[in-house]
Structure 1
Amino acid sequence: MENQFVTKSHWKKRWLVIYTRPRWEKKVDKLLKMQDIKSYCPLRTVTHQWADRKKVVDMPLFSGYVFVWIDEREEYKVRQTLGVLNFIYYMAKPAVIRDCVIEKIEQLTKMEHDYEVVDLQEINPGDRIRIKCGIFYNQEGTVIKVQGKNVLMVFDHLNCALVSNVPISNIMLNTANVQPTYV
């Protein structure tokens, strides 16, 4: 007769990634910790500039994601936490993140202060873009060339052609001027 009891070693903890509601990363992290579930929401310090003030805030490094250190028994508890949408899956199983990856992220956030995760959106020459922050905040221009994490663009509405090299993280596509593609 087989042993009906599962040994404790079967319940091995590992790092998994959960997907959260938009802008709920820090809330989910706090709610999980209140349930004695080890979670990790890496943060970066960002200065937001408005016309009348500046504010320094901690923003999640990975928008929409939180890491959890759990075993299989705790998966249901995590799923039932307010703000958790689902686990990130790879090959029909929750994606497991190696411990060394989490350790490297922790080291980066402790040692470095000038880092970012850049969303790899499609930006191509000819696209109309808008500046999100900096001296040219809210100005529009046209992409001339994409160079790694920077975009060479021209501001053509300032009564002159001013060419500038702008980090991709400081721009957004101007979707109002994007023509729909029909297939």
Structure 2
Amino acid sequence: MANFNTGWYLMYTRPRHEKKVKELLEDLKMDCFLPVTQKVAAYRSSKRTVVVPLFPSYIFVYLRDLSDYYQGMQVESVLNYVKVGKVIARVDGSIVENIKVVTEKALEIDVSGSYFYPGQQVVIHEGPLKGLSCEIVQLSEKKKILVRVHLLQRNLLCNLPSESLLIAS
């Protein structure tokens, strides 16, 4: 921990405690990001739309210094930071920004652990997903936007808006 790098990191939380951890981190004035989506939940006699985390038991946190790291570990329901070996794994800021764009603008988001062959690298420069760096992949006869989150071994997939114009990056 002697060579601490400022940036985005990933916390692992107790199951179904992501929103609580987010509130507690915000109370400590720490920058955090909990990507959520809406899903239809079927109950006995009805269906409701509920807000659920895209990555259950994970929350992104921006650490400015070592004291933020230790403060984050003291938050109730935080189990640990995601690590590679013994070192906490830093998340590329562009991935966090891409997830923010997708969750704010996209209507249907699917999270997949499947492998996708590399697609065409593009940056959307017009429309509701402006600024998104992503890949375009073919899935079930439809083109989809793919954002890879390597640290979690997950991919975000959403429909490609027809009004978006693309340029290769």
- 1:70-109 → structure 2 map (5 Å cutoff): 70=63, 71-109=65-103
| Aligned counterpart, 2:111 | 117
- Take 1:109 and 1:76, find their aligned partners in 2: how far apart are those partners? 29
| Aligned counterpart, 1:42 | 35
Structure 2 length normalisation: TM-score?
A: 0.62
- SS of residue in 1 equivalent to 2:32: strand
Structure 1 length normalisation: TM-score?
A: 0.57
When Rg is computed on C-alpha atoms for both structures, the one with the higher figure is 1
- Take 2:113 and 2:76, find their aligned partners in 1: how far apart are those partners? 26
- Take 2:74 and 2:113, find their aligned partners in 1: how far apart are those partners? 29
- SS of residue in 2 equivalent to 1:116: strand
Instruction: Tell me the alpha carbon deviations over residues 145-169 of structure 1, each in whole angstroms, 9 at most, x when there is no partner.
Output: xxxx89xxxxxxxxxxxxxxxxxxx
Aligned pair count reads 114
Q: Runs in 1 of length 4+ with deviation above 4 angstroms?
A: none
Of the three residues 39, 44, 53, the one matched with 2:46 is 53
- SS of residue in 1 equivalent to 2:76: coil
> How far off is 1:119 after superposition?
4.8
Instruction: Tell me the alpha carbon deviations over residues 58-94 of structure 1, each in whole angstroms, 9 at most, x when there is no partner.
Output: 1000011000001222111000000100000013211
The answer for unaligned runs of 5 or more in structure 1 is: 1-9, 121-148, 151-183
Query: Comparing both chains, which one has the higher relative contact order based on Cα–Cα distances under 8 Å and sequence gaps of 6 or more?
Result: 2
- SS of residue in 2 equivalent to 1:82: coil
- Take 1:23 and 1:119, find their aligned partners in 2: how far apart are those partners? 20
RMSD: 2.1
How high is the sequence identity, in percent, across the aligned residues? 28
| Aligned counterpart, 2:24 | 31
| Aligned counterpart, 2:127 | none
Q: CA 1:20–1:118 in structure 2 vs 1: closer, same or farther (change >3 Å)?
A: same
